[in-house]
Structure 1
Amino acid sequence: MDAMEERVKVDDRVASVILHASAADNTMTSDTESGGTFQEGSSAPELNIFTAARLGKTECIQALIQSGRARLTDRDEDDITALHWAAISGQAETCEYLIDHGAELNAVTRTLLASPLQWAALQGLPDIVHLLIRHGADPRLLDAQGYSSLHAAVHSSSYWCLLLLLCQPEVSPDERDRKGRTALHWAARQRDEVSTRLVAAGAQLRTRDGEQRTARDWDEALAEMGLSNDGMKVCRPLSEPHVKVIVFSVPSLSLCIAFAITSVFPWYMSVVLAPAALVAMHLVVLLEFLQRGTVSDSIYSSPYFLGIIFGSGLWIAYGWATRLRYGAHHNPYLHALFGLLFGLCVVALVFTTICDPGTIDILTKDELKPIIEDLIQRKQLTTKAFCVRCLAARPPHTRHCSRCNKCVTRNECMDLHASWMLNCIGTKTHAYFIVFITTFTACVLIFDYLVWIYLVASDEVPPPRSSCVLPHKVCRFVSGDMFLSSVAAWSSLQMIWSGVVAVNYGDAAWRAWRRRVKSFSETAVVFST
């Protein structure tokens, strides 16, 4: 029988017992609502210790034990203890009472051979799992099919139970069931992100089960990690660093070709051929070099957009150095300002790209355990307080970036992954990014003005041809130096995204300022009263 079918049979057996118990509880509840009570001597059915444990009625359990009508070692007709029912029902207070008064922590059922800890893990109850482990429950016990509490947590897809169990020193992520399957095999079979957490905890990708299958064989999604069927790296014609260098360099070369086309062909042909060259560049990058995952993920995780920024700046600097600089005697201060701002822009771009944006450190196994236990005790174990992808606690104003696959401390006015920078904009890169946007916008405006002066207002460019049917100044602009004109047009096009970022940042800054003013006003009112 397939192991998954066996697991389903066990789960269905547990579910049927729970449904049967729930039906009995509903019958008792309806009897009570119709006037019945649970007092001794009443005509209504009496609440036994197992039903009381399911419902979390600790006072009733205490009364039953003190009167001698029940014991903590009692088992129902399915050989299930009261602690089992309290654990699977999520009754933490009842579990605490039963454990404190001597209930057996590692008691197992007759047919399933499952402990209360395994039931709680299978139900995905991290607070109950933590309670049982804290009082000494053994997470290494195996049930009738050889599943441990770790396997049960994977079957329930409970990240919190899984993390809590992995933090225990006696729990190994490579524990096998009776067919040789580890928790990673099951997570991959279920196509669950839990497999990623198990890999981070040290599960062996090359571990094979009884059928000589690896976790990779159970889930083809692991191909995104660049692994073969035995967990080894896949050899590709080009390594990842080489692909990144090519993708980064292609925009600069393509822009050069497009600008050269405008200087060779007439303007009415250039407006078609130059964009065609850029589109061809885009298709080559997408189809030949960025074939992994989805198109959007490939683009945003590659240096493609950063290469566009670099290529744009490169040809702006080339046009200024080879053409506009010779007219510096007309506007010496403006040229000096352009050079200063361009240098600041390059420095800000480099620092925004290479600096740590404020990444939250990934915790070790020893550091992880007290944090998770503390969050469970404070009932704050949620994705807002802990990131299951990074295995790290999340301070306030922290978000997980799906592009960088890390948690970043964000600024209240800027919360984005800048694909143009190939980095997140966090608390440590926020200032550099603002300097880059400001200086880049100023450089483009000054460059466009210098190009206009050079091509239209000066006498250094020969007059346009008499056959030009466009206005005189436009004819001088398109016929004087099309290479320089196309560079200016392309740089002006970059103002679109920088303008959108500036507007969004201004709006966010205004809203943040209003929140601070409102908070200050409320504080002042409290102190005044």
Structure 2
Amino acid sequence: MDWHGEHGTDHSHMHDSCHHGHAGHSHSHGPRAAAFGGMANPFMPAFHGQFGKSADQTMELTQQPKKRSHMDDSSSWDIVKATQFGILERCKELVEAGYDVRQPDKENVTLLHWAAINNRSDLVKYYISKGAIVDQLGGDLNSTPLHWAIRQGHLPMVIQLMRYGADPSVADGEGYRALHLSILFQHMAIAAYLMAKGQEVDGPDCNGQTPLMLAAQKIIGPEPTNFLIKNNASVNAVDKVNRNTPLHCAVLAGNVDAAHILLEAGASVDAENINGHTPIDLAHQVHSPLLIHMLNHIKQERIRFNSRCLRVVNRYRVMLQFLLCTAIFGSVGAIVDMNSESWLLKGILLACVIGVINLASRNFPGPAFQSLLPASALMASVFWMLVTWCLCATVQVLFTLNATALLYYYIRTCKTDPGFIKATEEEKKMNVLVLAEAGCLDPRIFCTSCMIKKPMRTNHCFACDACVAKQDHHSVWTNSCIGARNHHYFILFLVSLMLMGSWMFYGCLTYWSNHCALHYEEHGVWGVVSALVSCSPWVLTVFLLAFYHTCWSGLILLLQLYQIAFLGLTTAERTKSDSPPEEISTICLPETESIQFGSGAEPGVLLPAALLWPLQTCHHRLDPAVSSWP
């Protein structure tokens, strides 16, 4: 970062804030503390917003220090000021005149520290060539130049210093090592690089705390706790002093988001610290009703799921949920179709069904139950459509073929790998190293959740927790992602479902015309509706189900065909795009490889091409290992 202005106003202030600011950081300092006085970022964005950005990029334009000409009086500057401004020729002049590059200033700060914090790569190279010690401690906190670069978020400087042999395991005066500092200041690109270079994600600082403990205790919010867990940080590690786990730390800090992520990752609610306190005990001490409720709820839920019966239910939950939805739909239809004039009896029976639904939802809560609910409801609806057709209409060959195609394409959509991008741990580390050292650790081509280099037109699905090649969306009706390998099956499933609904309309109308006395001219609309309800509530219920599923499937099908034929975009690309499709930015990668960001296909493709698109089986179009998805 450039530091301009008079030495007494900018650099002296910088100098003081570096040291006195450091001195003000006790062990409990948080990530939002200004590590270098006035040098802290004006805001602390979430991980994805900050990933790969330097401090210069996060400062607003009005906050950028005004540049001034160095040609006026740089020849008279001392070497510290020349280093801060990056005046290489002046620094060379003073060093050649006899200045020792290892000599610290009056506050024990070396020239290499100043060059590192201001991201002066040429000066760092020059000073090290003249004998500067890369791991020399300086400042009130006894920090190395690497520590200063990390606190300021200069990834290129971190890479350069480590190439010259900087040791990231050295601790500063507060006991923090390089990885701990990068987590505290939420510089995730640097943290990813350090872990790729071999730093242990569970490595303790001098106080025995792991990076996950610091993240849970000092940074309110889901990140970087979630980032560390994605990188296999231990959720049950304990510190050396108080034997606290990361969950203890999150509860003590009142960090609800971090506690939720730790609990989902399997953190123990019964672990005791050195004083015999569990996270629930600490939640009572900090007087947090939300944390108390959350921890007790998770504890009771885990106790229930430890029973053999619930383990069996959880193993077969997909089939059981489908059977439950089928039974509920059938019960509702049978009750309203009862040959009884007593609506009180029907109301009582419907209330009983609602009670069963409420009981089931209470005993089987959680994301897994909720995520399967739309898919189970859809299949239960299709099942009763088939039953109703077989009972109330003449079975025809076309309907049988339609029903078979619907079930086939639905199963293929659910079971086919949508194009998950997979990588081994070694490949993940190599991706981080290659992209970081090339200056391309950009969230558009690097997934911070999966720690992989994303091929073009690849998106991360948070429901599947994986990167999907040419992802369109995550469908609640199939409980799976729609991507490069199953998109065509999904299109054909929508077509089959629409045709199924049309057949049901035909069957219901045929049944009503043969079995119900409908006189629209005499009784009007309400008379016809009343006649339909009294004639066969079951058929009317199935008609409404078919109408609902036909409506949403038809709308999605039209949207899909429009996006494929005229936009050349997936739903995810169209939703996330903040700029016109023709705007393309290029990021250069090593070995002359480049990636362009923008529309993946030319708009204006004819509709017949879109209709033929689902039938493409060309290998290069369906292989998620390629770096570009057309």
Return the TM-score normalized by structure 2.
0.68
1:137 is displaced (CA, Å) by: 1.0
- Equivalent position SS for 2:404: helix
1:140 is displaced (CA, Å) by: 1.0
1:64 is displaced (CA, Å) by: 2.2
1:139 is displaced (CA, Å) by: 1.0
Question: Per the alignment, do residues 262 and 161 of structure 1 end up closer, same or farther by CA in structure 2, a change over 3 Å counting?
Answer: same
Question: Per the alignment, do residues 277 and 52 of structure 1 end up closer, same or farther by CA in structure 2, a change over 3 Å counting?
Answer: farther
Gaps of 5+ in 1: 20-28, 40-45, 293-297, 329-334, 521-529
In the alignment, which residue of structure 1 is the partner of 2:303? 235
Q: 1:311 aligns with which of 360, 375, 380?
A: 380
Matches within 5 A, 1:236-251: 236-237=304-305, 238-239=310-311, 240-241=314-315, 246-251=320-325
- Equivalent position SS for 2:194: helix
Q: 1:343 aligns with which of 404, 410, 413?
A: 404
| Aligned-pair Cα RMSD in Å | 3.6
Distance, in Å, in 1 between the alignment partners of 2:357 and 2:129 is: 67
Gaps of 5+ in 2: 1-23, 41-64, 251-258, 272-297, 570-598, 606-630
Matches within 5 A, 1:73-112: 73-109=102-138, 111-112=140-141
In the alignment, which residue of structure 1 is the partner of 2:85? 55
Contact 2:236/2:268 (CA < 8 Å) preserved in 1?
A: no
Distance, in Å, in 1 between the alignment partners of 2:105 and 2:31 is: 18
Distance, in Å, in 1 between the alignment partners of 2:338 and 2:33 is: 75
Contact 2:229/2:265 (CA < 8 Å) preserved in 1?
A: no
Deviations 1:24-50 (A, max 9, x none): xxxxx99976995122xxxxxx32332
The residue identity in structure 1 corresponding to 2:215 is A
Instruction: Establish whether residue 445 from structure 1 lines up as the match of residue 499 from structure 2.
Output: no
Contact 1:207/1:214 (CA < 8 Å) preserved in 2?
A: yes
Return the TM-score normalized by structure 1.
0.79
Deviations 1:208-249 (A, max 9, x none): 111121011122222233432367994334454465555444
Distance, in Å, in 2 between the alignment partners of 1:463 and 1:315 is: 25
Question: Per the alignment, do residues 462 and 176 of structure 1 end up closer, same or farther by CA in structure 2, a change over 3 Å counting?
Answer: closer
Question: Per the alignment, do residues 98 and 18 of structure 1 end up closer, same or farther by CA in structure 2, a change over 3 Å counting?
Answer: farther
In the alignment, which residue of structure 1 is the partner of 2:285? none
Distance, in Å, in 1 between the alignment partners of 2:602 and 2:469 is: 23
Contact 2:565/2:603 (CA < 8 Å) preserved in 1?
A: no
Contact 1:250/1:281 (CA < 8 Å) preserved in 2?
A: no
In the alignment, which residue of structure 2 is the partner of 1:123? 152
Distance, in Å, in 2 between the alignment partners of 1:391 and 1:34 is: 42
Question: Per the alignment, do residues 112 and 384 of structure 1 end up closer, same or farther by CA in structure 2, a change over 3 Å counting?
Answer: same
Contact 1:105/1:132 (CA < 8 Å) preserved in 2?
A: yes
In the alignment, which residue of structure 1 is the partner of 2:29? 8
- Higher mean displacement: 274-283 or 125-134: 274-283
Contact 1:254/1:277 (CA < 8 Å) preserved in 2?
A: no
Q: 1:202 aligns with which of 221, 228, 232?
A: 232
1:6 is displaced (CA, Å) by: 2.2
Contact 2:418/2:468 (CA < 8 Å) preserved in 1?
A: yes
The count of corresponding residues between Structure 1 and Structure 2 is: 477
In the alignment, which residue of structure 2 is the partner of 1:261? 335
Instruction: Establish whether residue 368 from structure 1 lines up as the match of residue 428 from structure 2.
Output: yes
- Equivalent position SS for 2:74: coil
Contact 2:235/2:265 (CA < 8 Å) preserved in 1?
A: no
Deviations 1:115-146 (A, max 9, x none): 11122222222222122112211111112232
- Equivalent position SS for 1:180: coil
In the alignment, which residue of structure 1 is the partner of 2:74? 38
- Equivalent position SS for 1:161: helix
- Higher mean displacement: 78-87 or 436-445: 78-87
1:301 is displaced (CA, Å) by: 5.8
Matches within 5 A, 1:280-291: 287-290=362-365
In the alignment, which residue of structure 1 is the partner of 2:578? none
In the alignment, which residue of structure 2 is the partner of 1:173? 201
Identical pairs, percent: 23
Deviations 1:162-218 (A, max 9, x none): 11111123x222222232211111111124522333334333222211112101112
1:407 is displaced (CA, Å) by: 1.1
